[in-house]
Amino acid sequence: MSLRVNDLRVHYRTLRGEVKALDGVSFGMADGEILGLAGESGCGKTTLGKSLIRMDGRMRHAGGTVELDGRELPVGDDRAMVAFRFHEVSLIPQYSMSAMNPTRRIGRMVGELLRSRGVTLDVKELESRLDLVGLPRDVLGRYPIELSGGMKQRMVMVISTLLDPSLLIADEITSALDVSTQQAVAKALLGFRESGYVKSMIFITHDLALTSHIADTIMVMYAGRLAEKAPSDRLTKAPRHPYTRLLINSLPEIGVRHQDRKLTGIPGSPPSLLDPPKGCRFRDRCPMAGEECAEDPPPVEIEPNHFVACWKA
């Protein structure tokens, strides 16, 4: 087991109180596994990703533990986490387009970043990785603004994986791209795993169709909690949670893409995480809701590796 997350709780401090963006999430990942993390916008995907590498100033570790390769990750301790960042856990952020310092040539920036982490830049290695993602080697002499969106995306992918991290978090890295570029990026990620640049990967997206192509396992979150987690083909072919089913049913036909149709297909909206209601959080929108749903449904392993948090699954 490469990653083990136990009852992780992360809150945002706001003026109106604590937003419980991650409210007790548990799951595991095997070595070399690609986990697709899906769910509506605002369900806590980014929060989960950030919690595993670096919480921002408003986030608070409210409970739970994370274990990576048998060692505990001190997720709540910003200083202690430094040793793990980049070396063990790395991130391709949601904002790849603006992730590079605009006033430094890329090659120089990478060199300075590596030196600051006590690593010397292996130019040969860097160049072979550029080749792998199809970037010309002279990008290193350019400023980020001189690259196209797709090139910036790939450049950030290369930078983030330069130290061969054990776990890579890729947050919505395909959302801003067109379909053919999306596929190229997905292929590059698979290539990274094959070449051993990364061991396992959390691939965050709100696009279930794309996830199922690249992920081994898919985890669906709802309102700060786990709804369902299963091997990709099981989850897409035989979903058990009503929310997952609605998501899958609202998927557009293969080949046809309607960005908006997918998730607006489910009427209603998720509850506020400032003061979430007791019981199942999907209750307001669930067509199958009943009496027992006033209690929190715990995630249950109904079949090997298939977890569902629903009384009626």
Partner 1 sequence: MRQYFGRKLLIYGLTFVVAVTVNWMIPRFMPGDPVASMLARSRVSQPAAVEAMRAYYTNLFGFDQPIWQQYLNFWGALFQGDFGISIWVFPTPVADVILGAVPYTLGLMIPAVLLSYWIGNRLGAFAARRKLLDNTVLPVGYVLTAMPYMWLAVILAWGLGVTAGWFPVAGGYSFALQPSWSWAFLVNLLHHWTLPFLSLFVVALGGWAIGMRNMIIYELESDYSNYLAALGAPTRLIRRYAFRNAILPQITGLALQLGVLVAGALVTEIVFSYPGLGSLILKAIQNQDFFLLQGTFMFIVIGVLLANFIIDIVYVIVDPRTRAGMAGAA
Ligand X SMILES: Nc1ncnc2c1ncn2[C@@H]1O[C@H](COP(=O)(O)OP(=O)(O)O)[C@@H](O)[C@H]1O
How far CA 136 is from CA of 132, 142, 156, 191, in Å, comes to 10, 11, 14, 18
State yes or no: residue 289 binds ligand SF4 (CB under 6 A). Answer: yes
**Binding partner selected for residue 146 from partner 1, ligand X, Mg ion, none, CB under the kind-specific 5 to 8 Å limit:** partner 1
Among 224, 297, 299, 306, binds ligand SF4 (CB under 6 A): 297
Binding to ligand X in span 14-53, by CB under 6 A: 14, 19, 21, 39, 41-47
**Binding partner selected for residue 293 from ligand SF4, partner 1, ligand X, none, CB under the kind-specific 5 to 8 Å limit:** ligand SF4
The least distance separating partner 1 from the CB of residue 99, rounded to whole angstroms, comes to 4
State yes or no: residue 310 binds ligand SF4 (CB under 6 A). Answer: yes
Residue of 103, 111, 183 whose CA lies nearest to 146? 103
Binding to ligand X in span 251-290, by CB under 6 A: 273
Per CB under 5 A, residues contacting Mg ion are: 46
Total residues found in the chain within this entry? 313
Q: How far apart are CA 67 and CA 52, in angstroms?
A: 10
State yes or no: residue 90 binds partner 1 (CB under 8 A). Answer: yes
Q: List CB contacts of 49: < 8 A, sequence separation 6 or more.
A: 37, 91, 169, 171, 202, 204
Q: List CB contacts of 228: < 8 A, sequence separation 6 or more.
A: 219, 220, 235, 239, 240, 241, 243, 244, 306, 307, 308, 309, 310, 313
Q: How far apart are CA 40 and CA 270, in angstroms?
A: 9
**Binding partner selected for residue 58 from partner 1, ligand X, Mg ion, none, CB under the kind-specific 5 to 8 Å limit:** ligand X
Q: Considering beta carbons, is residue 90 or 211 the nearer one to partner 1?
A: 90
The least distance separating partner 1 from the CB of residue 20, rounded to whole angstroms, comes to 23
What is the residue-wise DSSP string for 61-128?
A: EEEEEEEETTEEE-TT-HHHHTTTBTTTEEEE-TTGGG-S-TTS-HHHHHHHHHHHTT----HHHHHH
Q: Considering beta carbons, is residue 155 or 220 the nearer one to ligand X?
A: 220
Stretch that binds partner 1, among 59-67, 83-91, 225-233, 253-261 (CB under 8 A): 83-91
Do 308 and 240 form a contact (C-beta atoms < 8 A)?
A: yes
How far, rounded to the nearest angstrom, does the alpha carbon of residue 266 sit from its chain's CA centroid?
22
State yes or no: residue 66 binds ligand SF4 (CB under 6 A). Answer: no
Among 4, 108, 117, 283, binds ligand SF4 (CB under 6 A): 283
3-state helix, strand, coil in the chain (%, to 5): 35, 25, 40
State yes or no: residue 270 binds ligand SF4 (CB under 6 A). Answer: no
State yes or no: residue 307 binds ligand SF4 (CB under 6 A). Answer: no
In the complex, the residues that contact ligand SF4 under the rule CB under 6 A are 242, 280, 282-283, 286, 288-289, 293, 297, 310-312
In the complex, the residues that contact ligand X under the rule CB under 6 A are 12, 14, 19, 21, 39, 41-47, 58, 273
In the complex, the residues that contact partner 1 under the rule CB under 8 A are 50, 53-54, 56, 81-87, 90-91, 93, 95, 98-104, 112-113, 116-117, 143, 145-146, 156, 159-160
